[in-house]
Amino acid sequence: MKRDQDDMFTTIDALKRASMYKEGSRIHALEQSLHEMSYAVFRGICYKAFNTRQTFSEAVATCGEDGGTLAMPRDAEINAFLISLYKSVSDSTCGYFWFGLHDQREEGNFEWMDGSALGTYNSWYPGEPNNNAGREDCVLYQQVHKDMWNDGRP
């Protein structure tokens, strides 16, 4: 009886490992397909960088047409990942990219594209946000600002 029980547990363990391997293989294949379509996966979220000069509104529309939204770097790891992703596609002619943070509803009250508040993490360049000329309501990374955040014109 004990031997049968041990054999059964061994079989169950082997099936679990095979199942995990199969699931891991599926995940790997999916990630490979996404990579081939110029997507990158980070923390289970798909990201895609576009190397085109656009306004904030145009960038929002481009992401929407692709089924997504502008990225929301809510912590230092995501922020670093997004900078790395941008640099992997950038030819340095653009020099900036938009992400999903703005204060379009109320000046100085920054919120993410999903409507949630900015929170405690930020990576503002010194002196930013400054709402220069009273017209800067959207947030972008700028190479000239050492890849830190700057409020810009939509």
d(C-alpha 39, C-alpha 71), whole Å:
13
Q: For 45, phi and psi rounded to 5 degrees?
A: -115, 135
Residue 121: which CATH number? 3.10.100.10
Residues 61 and 124 placed together within one structural domain of the fold: yes
pLDDT in tens, 61-84: 999 998 899 999 999 999 999 999
Residues 45 and 12 placed together within one structural domain of the fold: no
Mean pLDDT for the chain overall: 83
Residues 86 and 140 placed together within one structural domain of the fold: yes
Residues 73 and 137 placed together within one structural domain of the fold: yes
Residues 109 and 123 placed together within one structural domain of the fold: yes
Arithmetic mean of pLDDT, 48-63: 91
d(C-alpha 94, C-alpha 92), whole Å:
6
Q: Is the pLDDT of residue 26 over 80?
A: no
Q: Which of 61, 76, 54 is nearest to 140 (CA)?
A: 54
| DSSP-derived 3-state class of residue 18 | helix
Domain that holds residue 60: 40-152
Question: For residue 60, what pLDDT band results from cuts at 50, 70 and 90?
Answer: very high
| DSSP-derived 3-state class of residue 44 | coil
Backbone dihedral region for residue 43 (phi beyond 0: left; psi -120 to 50: alpha; all else: beta): left
Number of domains in the chain: 2
Question: For residue 24, what pLDDT band results from cuts at 50, 70 and 90?
Answer: low
pLDDT value, residue 56: 95
Arithmetic mean of pLDDT, 112-121: 97
Residues 83 and 131 placed together within one structural domain of the fold: yes
pLDDT value, residue 52: 83
Residue with tokens 């000069």: 53
Residues 15 and 27 placed together within one structural domain of the fold: yes
pLDDT value, residue 1: 46
pLDDT in tens, 136-153: 999 999 888 888 999 999
